[in-house]
Structure 1
Amino acid sequence: MIAEKLQEVEEKIEAAKARRTPQITEDVQLVAVTKNHDVAAMREAIDAGVTDIGENRIQEAMGKYETLGRQVTWHLIGHLQTNKAKQAVKYFDLIHSVDTPHLARALDKEAGKIGKVQDVLVQVNLAKEESKSGVYEEDLQPLLQLVDELPHLRLCGLMCIAPNYDDTEKCRPLFRRMREIFDGIKDIPFQTANIKYLSMGMSHDYGIAIEEGANIVRVGTAIFGPRQY
């Protein structure tokens, strides 16, 4: 069942890539979001071809990390509290949700303790939704510069979450603007940054996100079905 749903998602990804404008050429990385899904479902997905796993919560991820028994790339895609920075740098390969200077400095400090350079994305709250984390566009530049200057962080791009519109077409202008911002920061003369990832799009809107330039999509329900609470 999971393998069939995964194949459907991959086919939709390819179809969306074909609808892109010619100047957007990157491949698309699928992150399978396993929040509230058990290790057996994760293994089934990985055995069907998933290479990247996304988790929202540190505590849930830690238990799965110890028992999964598969080699995958781990993505932290949920809001991260500063007091969880130590665990985040221990368990995750890419953290999508850096949104404040305070959090950036905490991650840098903890990564330094274990001799790691932590890959991170800065989360942008383009729609200025109070219910979502993320830096506003007008405050983005100083945060990017700070992350670039911290010795144990590597800035790899941007992440956003679109509003949950009933009509997903309403997401398109936001995704388009995010791609413009992403392309713009590639021209900034950073010290150590490697700007390559634009993480946007989830189960309900990932097709539009890809059309508008996402190269990481975070898909859970479309692969695993409804979450198990």
Structure 2
Amino acid sequence: MSIAQNLNNIKSSLPEHVTLVAVSKTKPVSDLMEAYNAGQRIFGENKIQEMTDKWQQMPKDIEWHMIGHVQSNKVKYMVPYVKLIHGVDSLKLLKEINRLAVKWRKHINVLLQIYIAEEETKFGLNDQELDEILNSEEVQQMTNITITGLMGMASFTDDKTQIKKEFLHLKSLFDKYKAISTNNCQMNTLSMGMSGDYELAIECGSTMIRVGSSIFGGR
């Protein structure tokens, strides 16, 4: 099937409250434009240089999401373009995003990445670190970021019971903190679920899924 057909098949199966991020990393602009022409406006990249190159070549009504692991020293390259940063996993990174957003007079939405998998290769905050960030006076004084939700990646396994347990843990954290409403914390997004597990993620409460291969084909 074509990219447009794949995209339409997925979108037609999604509940209204679920946002689809088309994970376009490593894919050529021609592929992204096929998805764009089929109505997709949110794309996720994991390399800043690739995202900025595509930003320059593509229509400006696209919302660009940074979905990969972010290093503090690379934030300055993406601030002009990025709408949502999915993988914020430290106070240090949050501070740097806010500092540069102030400098560029931008406002950037972020998701706090939570470590839910039973794999050492994944990044993320643990439950205590999440609590410390959300209750930090320093964070509450940040003027140019908004924490709009949580994000997590389940273990890479075929064990659906394991994946469901991890998703439900993340959902419980989201439910615990979504009542927080401050100038820079408005939790309305729970980003979990990718090509292989997004249907289960939606069952468990996801409001945003990150889908690449099911749209664009394998890498």
Q: Output the TM-score relative to the length of structure 2.
A: 0.93
Alpha-carbon distance in structure 2 between the residues aligned to 1:70 and 1:199: 24
Residue 42 (structure 1) aligns with: 32
Structure 1, residues 119-173: CA drift from partner, whole Å, max 9, x if none?
A: 1110001235321111112211112234443121111000001111123443111
C-alpha change, 1:181 and 1:35, in structure 2 (3 Å) is same
**Of residues 98, 107, 126 in structure 2, which corresponds to 1:117?**
107
Residue 7 (structure 2) aligns with: 6
**Of residues 168, 177, 180 in structure 1, which corresponds to 2:169?**
177
**In the TM superposition, what are the counterparts of 1:56-75 in structure 2 within 5 Å?**
56-75=46-65
| Structure 1 segments (4+ residues) deviating >4 Å | none
Residue 127 (structure 1) aligns with: 117
**Of residues 69, 90, 97 in structure 2, which corresponds to 1:107?**
97
Alpha-carbon distance in structure 2 between the residues aligned to 1:151 and 1:91: 18
Describe the SS at the equivalent of 2:110. strand
Name whichever of 207-216 and 184-193 sits farther off.
184-193
**In the alignment, is the contact (CA less than 8 A) between 2:91 and 2:133 conserved in 1?**
yes
Residue 18 (structure 1) aligns with: none
Structure 1, residues 21-62: CA drift from partner, whole Å, max 9, x if none?
A: xxxxx7000000001100000000011111210011101111
Q: Name which structure has the greater RCO, CA cutoff 8 Å, separation 6+.
A: 1
RMSD: 1.5
**In the alignment, is the contact (CA less than 8 A) between 2:23 and 2:44 conserved in 1?**
yes
Q: Output the TM-score relative to the length of structure 1.
A: 0.89
**In the alignment, is the contact (CA less than 8 A) between 1:121 and 1:156 conserved in 2?**
yes
Q: Tell me the matched-pair count.
A: 216
Describe the SS at the equivalent of 1:95. strand
Alpha-carbon distance in structure 2 between the residues aligned to 1:194 and 1:87: 26
Amino acid aligned to 1:8: N
Unaligned runs of 5+ in 2: none
Once the two structures are aligned, what percentage of the paired residues are identical? 38
Describe the SS at the equivalent of 2:196. coil
Alpha-carbon distance in structure 1 between the residues aligned to 2:127 and 2:28: 36
Describe the SS at the equivalent of 1:194. strand
**In the TM superposition, what are the counterparts of 1:87-166 in structure 2 within 5 Å?**
87-127=77-117, 129-146=119-136, 147-166=139-158
Name whichever of 181-190 and 57-66 sits farther off.
181-190
**In the alignment, is the contact (CA less than 8 A) between 2:85 and 2:109 conserved in 1?**
yes
**In the alignment, is the contact (CA less than 8 A) between 1:148 and 1:190 conserved in 2?**
yes
Describe the SS at the equivalent of 1:195. strand
**In the alignment, is the contact (CA less than 8 A) between 1:123 and 1:158 conserved in 2?**
yes
